[in-house]
Amino acid sequence: MTALSINLNKIALIRNSREGDYPSLIEHAERCIEYGADGITVHPRPDQRHIRSGDVRQLAALVKPLPNIEFNIEGNPFASACQDYPGLICLVEETLPDQCTLVPDADSQLTSDHGFDLSTQGEQLKPIIERLKSLGVRVSLFMDPDLEQIRLAADMGADRIELYTGPYAAAWNSDHLDRIFQQHVDSAKLANSLGLGVNAGHDLNLHNLGKFASIENLLEVSIGHAFTVDSLALGMETAINSYKALLN
């Protein structure tokens, strides 16, 4: 069974366009859980253009007592503290999510668009991974479907990888799709053989998820942008049911 974690960044972005707390992230998370989501994901950034540090604390208080719902915090472990943003690792140490997905996104990026190059960043990451694991937090690394990089992820002591599926989604309905999909299949197989769990995320939607979900032992997908759009068209409950039907 592949878990569905809903990323709330886009809901926070809508809220931040006005003063106040509407739509409420807490109420939105509660509805996602009520309708069958397996987890909640947030990706705070230093400029807090969507998820804010206070949101992370409130969502942790909501989700952590729920035994079957996972809380996943994503972000750049090297991002500096900025105003009310204490830095990703400080925020993770404070809230102790079930999973922390480390992502190599610079402050200037609109969204995550590549995985780690562990040949250059591995030594910096290794003590961070060890620190988070010592706190009981599962560590996942955001990775391209590159076999050598995945071997390095296992050497770093990560628990899981999250395959970056942006190029797969971009190749939908193109001649390149099967080749790119096979790269993800091969990467997932290698990761499993090395003892790494496999998650996936970025630009997955109701059109392309079914094929991707055929990858064996896919543990979790994180979906936010497309889910928010589909919720507008279908309603949140129908959208969640539609995604879960493709996963299982």
Residues labelled catalytic: 43, 74, 202
Tell me the two tokens of residue 77: 């472990």
Sign of CA dihedral 99, 104, 107, 112: negative
For the stretch 129-148, what's the b/e string if a residue is b when 16 or more beta carbons lie within 10 angstroms of its beta carbon?
A: beebeeeebbbbbbbbbbee
Beta-carbon count within 10 A of 128 CB: 18
The torsion angles phi and psi of 9, rounded to 5 degrees, stand at -55, -40
Task: Name the nearest CA neighbour of 116 among 101, 103, 127, 132.
Answer: 103
Task: Name the nearest CA neighbour of 157 among 182, 180, 133.
Answer: 133
